[in-house]
């Protein structure tokens, strides 16, 4: 709990410094009591601590739950058939998020990705984020139960160990252009006429090995306008031992105030 309390402490100190600025300030050293400017103004004043960003409150809980050793997601099972990924889902337009660990075997936007072997395990749930938001606004609210957080993280850690989950071979590869080399294959990402994203897996000779299409998604309302998030290819990972490629799809909100969907993920075998 000490980690989270330190985060809230920084926010509280910063909030206090802002409030004190609204009152009458004492004259600085060297100032004339009748309102003249100080003869020797203080140099290099110590800046007030900055408030902790709201998302750090969520990640402080996650780090606390895993005892300071949050898994280095994404992770691949020893049989190469499943991926585990930590997913933060913002609450409304705030930066406070729920956090859960998902496990999948294909693409998360396809029905067969969520079969009997799929798992969706929360760590920071919606009730806990309400507590974080209330405390960040200075309202009285309890801290999320550290024992419940630890129990959830321990169950996830136990399952990941049992499945032999380990990190992918190399770092994430940014997906920015039409074609991106990922190990011995290429990922071709293009937008269709209706802004859908088409992701193709190609071999070295441009032969198509697999394809998936991610559609735009209506998410929320801003005024009378419907927000439509456009899918965007973000990153990929490759594992040479298991011959697997993992793709991450993010979203472009299109307008201020729109809520973004969770990222989509997909895994394909490679030659």
**Residue 199 domain-assigned?**
yes
**Residue 38 domain-assigned?**
no
User: What does the block give as tokens for 53?
Assistant: 């960003």
Note the pLDDT of residue 39: 52
In this structure, are 58 and 145 located in the same domain?
Answer: yes
In this structure, are 145 and 248 located in the same domain?
Answer: no
Domain-ending residue, one of 138, 167, 196: 167
- What is the rounded distance in angstroms from the CA atom of residue 189 to the CA atom of residue 168? 22
**Residue 36 domain-assigned?**
no
Number of folded domains in the chain? 2
In this structure, are 63 and 155 located in the same domain?
Answer: yes
Note the pLDDT of residue 62: 96
**Residue 13 domain-assigned?**
yes
Which stretches in the chain have pLDDT values below 50?
Answer: 1-3, 5-28, 30-33, 35, 37-38, 41-42, 44-45, 47-54, 111-116
**Residue 135 domain-assigned?**
yes
Phi, psi for residue 5 in degrees, rounded to 5: -65, -35
Note the pLDDT of residue 93: 67
Note the pLDDT of residue 65: 97
pLDDT, one tens digit per residue, over 212-223 is: 999 999 887 767
Q: What is the torsion angle, in degrees rounded to the nearest 10, for the CA atoms of residue 185, residue 191, residue 194 and residue 197? A: 40
In this structure, are 196 and 137 located in the same domain?
Answer: no
Note the pLDDT of residue 8: 47
**Residue 101 domain-assigned?**
yes
Note the pLDDT of residue 13: 36
Per the structure, the complete domain to which residue 115 belongs is given by 2-23+49-167
**Residue 159 domain-assigned?**
yes
Domain-ending residue, one of 134, 152, 167: 167
Note the pLDDT of residue 219: 83
In this structure, are 130 and 223 located in the same domain?
Answer: no
Domain-ending residue, one of 107, 132, 167: 167
- CB–CB of 188/199 below 8 Å? yes
Q: What is the torsion angle, in degrees rounded to the nearest 10, for the CA atoms of residue 88, residue 94, residue 96 and residue 101? A: -20
Largest CA distance in the chain: 83
Note the pLDDT of residue 24: 42
**Residue 33 domain-assigned?**
no
């Amino acid at each position: 709990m000490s980690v989270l309390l330190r985060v809230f402490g920084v926010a509280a100190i910063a909030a206090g410094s802002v409030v004190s600025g609204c009152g009458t300030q004492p004259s600085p050293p060297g100032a004339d009591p009748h309102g003249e400017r100080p003869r020797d103004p203080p140099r290099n004043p110590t800046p007030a601590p900055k408030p902790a960003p709201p998302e750090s409150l969520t990640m402080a809980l996650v780090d606390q739950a895993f005892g300071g050793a949050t898994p280095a997601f994404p992770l691949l099972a020893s049989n190469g058939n499943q991926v585990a990924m930590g997913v933060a889902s913002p609450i409304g337009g705030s930066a406070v998020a729920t956090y859960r660990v998902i496990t999948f075997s294909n693409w998360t936007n396809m029905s067969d990705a969520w079969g009997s072997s799929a798992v969706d395990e929360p760590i920071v749930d919606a009730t806990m984020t309400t507590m974080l938001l209330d405390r960040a606004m200075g309202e009285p609210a309890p801290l999320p139960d550290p024992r419940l957080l630890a129990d959830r993280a321990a169950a996830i850690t136990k399952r990941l160990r049992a499945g032999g989950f380990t990190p992918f071979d190399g770092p994430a590869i940014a997906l920015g252009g039409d074609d991106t080399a990922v190990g011995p294959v290429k990922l071709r990402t293009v937008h269709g006429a209706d802004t859908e994203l088409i992701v193709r897996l190609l071999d070295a000779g441009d032969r198509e090995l697999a394809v998936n299409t991610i559609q735009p998604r209506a998410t929320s309302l801003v005024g009378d306008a419907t927000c439509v998030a456009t899918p965007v290819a973000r990153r990929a990972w490759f594992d040479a031992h298991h011959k697997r490629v993992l793709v991450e799809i993010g979203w472009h909100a299109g307008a201020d105030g729109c809520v973004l969907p969770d990222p989509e993920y997909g895994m394909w075998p490679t030659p």
